[in-house]
Amino acid sequence: MVKTRFAPSPTGYLHVGGARTALFSWLYARHCGGQFVLRIEDTDRERSTQPAIDAILESMQWLDLSWDEGPYYQTKRFDRYKEVIDELIAKGHAYKCYCSKERLEAMREEQMKEGKKPRYDGHCRHDETQHSADEPYVVRFRNPDTGTVAFDDMVKGHIEFQNSELDDFIIQRSDGTPTYNFCVVVDDFDMGITHVIRGDDHVNNTPRQINLYKAMGAAVPVFGHLAMILGDDGTKLSKRHGAVSVMQYREDGYLPEALLNYLVRLGWSHGDQELFSREQMIELFTPEAITKSASSFNTKKLNWINAQYIKTLPVEQLAAELLWHMEREGLNKDNGPDPVLVVKAYAERCQTLKEMAQKARCYYEDFSEYDAAGVKKWIKEGSIEVLERSLAALEGLESWDAASIDKVLEELAASMEIGMGKVGQPLRLAMTGTPTSPGIGDTMLLVGRERTYARIKQAIEHFSK
């Protein structure tokens, strides 16, 4: 059975690169009917934080990338790592290294001077000296001296390293804590991981890890290294490019469905199809279609995808996410229409739900200011009369629905022999404080009957001055 994992280091929020790695691992497991493991790689105690762990879990949940096992925490597995290290030492695959900092530095300097790549010289491999119990040491893996390490990467194809290029890397630091390259192998082995999908910043670690698997007598998993994500400007994606943390995308009004859809296309394709439901992604995701080259983040495209989802997802689902944004905007949902109505009226008009929540402010809060340019353009001599007659017509309405409102206002425009714009625009200003809103009937429906009357009266008073 295929078993994949996502293994973030909790040293910061989950950024889009990490989320893409998580998505691809998750998709591959789901596509194969396998399992997906979440593991928090928190051995670097200085840089790992609880808020970062919380942010990772929150992001995974928001994206709905569910895991079958975990979250495992490496800090809870120290006994196991110790056990494997002792075993490796006993079998001669690892050894204690007592080399001082000074010696290592001198060695490095010497190697650099000779134009060689700095690497540990294996000095303590055959160390016969007696060491006192309190003398500090690290544990190094005894890497083979000759031969090659090769693997067939799911994305990059055949990759080969010379063992002579690799040195005896540290698997346990002098403070007794195990290192990443070691823990990751023990974990992936213990957890039965069959496919390791991760960023290609780890390609150079892979041969070391493969040698460790072999020393442990463990089966080597299949590796798939994903190419980097670049910013719009071709440089490595970073904070400079705007939002990079998954939860910031939520704050900015993106839907998890849209972000996932956007991320799946960053380095994977299926013909020229752009929109994929979660089910389609799972069905169609094959590693053969993962691209070898780096992909560039494109905010315009993300906005377009988000807009598509706002147009097509069930309104109740959108309303729930809109409510989250309304709360962030300080809007009281009890002081206005059902958010489902806002979604219905605005789904075609917004790229993000944050934008929608901001546009909805006027339906939940009264205001006394009007958009100056709109007023200048639309409030003319006859506007007060238009507002007064609109009020009278609307007060006479039997049924308060969008079609009836539109109809009575169209009739008014016709009877006054003026264009609908001259009726609708002053009313929009009265309803929302701005000259842009959905159809006037829908807008008034959102404002509500009594409030519509009150706002027209307020506008008459305001514009009469």
Show the tokens assigned to 7. 């293994």
* Residue 7 interacting with ligand GLU (CB under 6 A): yes
At position 399, the amino acid (one-letter code) is S
Task: Identify whether 3 is a catalytic site residue.
Answer: no
**DSSP for 235-291, written as a single string:** SBP-GGGS--BHHHHHHTT--HHHHHHHHHTSSB-STT-----HHHHHHH--GGGB-
What is the distance between the alpha carbons of residues 164 and 443, in angstroms, rounded to a whole number?
73
Binding map of ligand GLU across residues 180-209, x = CB under 6 A, - = no contact:
----x-------------x---x-------
Largest CA distance in the chain: 107
| Residues 210 and 181 sit within 8 Å (Cβ to Cβ) | no
Show the tokens assigned to 149. 């390490």
| Residues 182 and 156 sit within 8 Å (Cβ to Cβ) | no
β-pair partners for 257:
none
What is the distance between the alpha carbons of residues 149 and 145, in angstroms, rounded to a whole number?
11
* Residue 10 interacting with ligand GLU (CB under 6 A): no
Angle, to 10 degrees, between the axis of helix 402-416 and the axis of helix 383-395? 140
Distance of closest approach, residue 249 Cβ to ligand GLU, in angstroms: 19
Distance of closest approach, residue 203 Cβ to ligand GLU, in angstroms: 11
CA 248, chain centre distance (Å) = 8
Q: Nearest-CB residue to ligand GLU?
A: 198
- Among 6-14, 79-87, 89-97, 102-110, which window interacts with ligand GLU (CB under 6 A)? 6-14
CA 277, chain centre distance (Å) = 17
325 is in an annotated binding site: no
* Residue 229 interacting with ligand GLU (CB under 6 A): no
* Residue 49 interacting with ligand GLU (CB under 6 A): no
Distance of closest approach, residue 179 Cβ to ligand GLU, in angstroms: 12
Closer to ligand GLU by CB, 6 or 463: give it.
6
Closer to ligand GLU by CB, 118 or 199: give it.
199
Distance of closest approach, residue 40 Cβ to ligand GLU, in angstroms: 9
- Please tell me whether residue 394 adopts helix, strand or coil conformation: helix
Binding map of ligand GLU across residues 130-169, x = CB under 6 A, - = no contact:
----------------------------------------
* Residue 93 interacting with ligand GLU (CB under 6 A): no
φ, ψ of residue 266 in degrees (nearest 5): -85, 80
Closer to ligand GLU by CB, 24 or 297: give it.
24
Distance of closest approach, residue 435 Cβ to ligand GLU, in angstroms: 50
* Residue 8 interacting with ligand GLU (CB under 6 A): yes
- Among 7-15, 296-304, 399-407, 442-450, which window interacts with ligand GLU (CB under 6 A)? 7-15
Nearest to 360 by CA among 305, 258, 456, 433: 433
- Among 5-13, 102-110, 302-310, 385-393, which window interacts with ligand GLU (CB under 6 A)? 5-13
Q: Which of 76, 116, 236, 239 is catalytic?
A: 239
Closer to ligand GLU by CB, 7 or 220: give it.
7
- Among 1-9, 216-224, 371-379, 386-394, which window interacts with ligand GLU (CB under 6 A)? 1-9
* Residue 9 interacting with ligand GLU (CB under 6 A): yes
32 is in an annotated binding site: no
| Residues 110 and 172 sit within 8 Å (Cβ to Cβ) | no
99 is in an annotated binding site: yes
Distance of closest approach, residue 212 Cβ to ligand GLU, in angstroms: 12
What is the distance between the alpha carbons of residues 210 and 4, in angstroms, rounded to a whole number?
17
Sequence-separated (6 or more) residues with CB below 8 Å from residue 99: 120, 123, 124
Distance of closest approach, residue 361 Cβ to ligand GLU, in angstroms: 40
Q: Give the DSSP H or E segment for 101.
A: helix 101-113
* Residue 177 interacting with ligand GLU (CB under 6 A): no
φ, ψ of residue 373 in degrees (nearest 5): -65, -40
Q: Which of 14, 41, 383, 441 binds ligand GLU (CB under 6 A)?
A: 41
What is the distance between the alpha carbons of residues 344 and 340, in angstroms, rounded to a whole number?
6
| Residues 188 and 5 sit within 8 Å (Cβ to Cβ) | yes
Annotated binding site for ATP: 239
Which residues belong to the active site? 239
Annotated binding site: 97, 99, 124, 126, 239
Residues that bind ligand GLU (CB under 6 A): 7-9, 41, 184, 198, 202
Annotated binding site for Zn(2+): 97, 99, 124, 126
